[in-house]
Amino acid sequence: MQAIMETLFDAFYLVSVITLGAIMILKSGNNKQYKLFGFMAVLLGAGDAFHLIPRSYALFTTGLEANAAALGIGKFITSITMTIFYVILYHIWRQRYNIEGRKKLTFSIYALSIIRIGLCLFPQNDWLNFNSPVLWGIYRNIPFLFMGIIIIDIFYFEAKKHADNNFRYMWLAIVLSFAFYIPVVLWANTIPLIGILMIPKTIAYLWVVIMGYKEFQLNQK
């Protein structure tokens, strides 16, 4: 039952974000913001597919532990693509609110993303091991968390400042994604059931994509 329900949910999610992203890329014309949003959505889906597809395969066959290598590689790829996801979201923020300058903020986002990706490359992560070190999971997610905090902060204040109704909950979607993700990083190895929090985390990211797509649709009419 878990295999069927989880696979159906994952398939719906992957098809949704990749399809919505592709539509935005193809139909956004010269609108850089929507094109960026489309690329971000496709990257989100494509990156998550490297983890979710092997996971579905494992659930239907020999189990998660027996497919640890494929799951670990997928998790590694997803970690990289999610980092890039937030870099793109930062540039969407700059496009949307006509932000000029703020070189220190841009430097911070790029520095944190490089640190995060660098930490992901360390062999101590032991990606191919089913029970990979929790401590290294924490290390590589510290710069990722700081990136998230920055994105939450800048979207919250700019959306409020511009009375931006379409993106007024962007900050909240990102807050929720981290709120559901952090317990998984900390305790999933010892309490496997906590992994179910990845479902609402995924829904939060789907919400991010839908917010962008809904506004894109309105501007197409």
Q: Would you state the pLDDT for residue 221?
A: 62
DSSP assignment of 65-118 = GGGHHHHHHHHHHHHHHHHHHHHHHHHHHHHHTT----HHHHHHHHHHHHHHHH
- Domain limits of the chain? 2-220
Tell me the pTM.
0.94
133 φ, ψ (degrees, to nearest 5): -60, 125
For the domain 2-220, what is the CATH code?
Answer: 1.20.1070.10
Over residues 15-29, the pLDDT tens digits come to: 999 999 999 999 988
Over residues 120-173, the pLDDT tens digits come to: 999 999 999 988 899 999 999 999 999 999 999 999 999 999 999 999 999 999
**For residue 41, which of 221, 211, 180 has the smallest C-alpha distance?**
211
Over residues 32-57, the pLDDT tens digits come to: 999 999 999 999 999 999 999 999 99
Q: What's the number of CA atoms in the CB half-sphere (13 Å) around residue 165?
A: 2
